[in-house]
Amino acid sequence: MRNDSRLDWWKRRRVQWPLGAILVLGVAAGLAISRSNASRIVVYNETGHPLEALSITACGQSRTFRDLGERESVRLKLAANGGASDIAIATNGIAMWRGDYIEPRGGYHAIVRLRRDGQVESTTITSWWQTLLGARTALTP
């Protein structure tokens, strides 16, 4: 009898563990897909000196970050409201750059690097999940 109870326990676990793992993976995939539609802007400070105030404006939304150290980055997650626009960056109230077109929804990730020589490098990519689900891959103003 003792072996029968161990065998029953093992049979139940052989089914419960894989089902539990599938459930956890399903929840994780659902969260990833639902969050992949939000657009984000990441700005890296590679200027060689700290920035007192860095303002990012896009899609009718704006945020100012204070005391951004050299080799640090800031992230702005865009709310779903607002229309598509260019990204504008200002430092200490002085316009520094206006560039890449972005939409508040669609899973776009804009990466902006403020370089030491005053140049700005930017790249916009689409979330892997949005690409997989067949969303647009190119931004068109």
Alpha helices in the chain (DSSP H): 2-35, 128-132
The average pLDDT across 63-90 equals: 92
Average pLDDT for 123-140 = 65
Domain covering 37-132 in this structure, CATH number: 2.60.40
pLDDT range class, residue 49, cuts 50, 70, 90 = very high
Please state whether 48 falls in left (phi above 0), alpha (psi between -120 and 50) or beta: left
Higher pLDDT, 107 or 115: 115
The amino acid at 56: I
As a whole number of angstroms, the distance between CA 85 and CA 110 comes to 12
- Spatial distance between the Cα atoms of 45 and 68, rounded to a whole number of angstroms: 7
pLDDT tens per residue across span 7-36 = 677 677 777 888 888 999 998 888 776 666
The overall pTM is greater than 0.85: no
Q: Are 84 and 70 in contact (CB under 8 A)?
A: no
CA pair distance 53, 51, nearest whole angstrom: 6
- Structure-token match 């103003």, residue found: 141
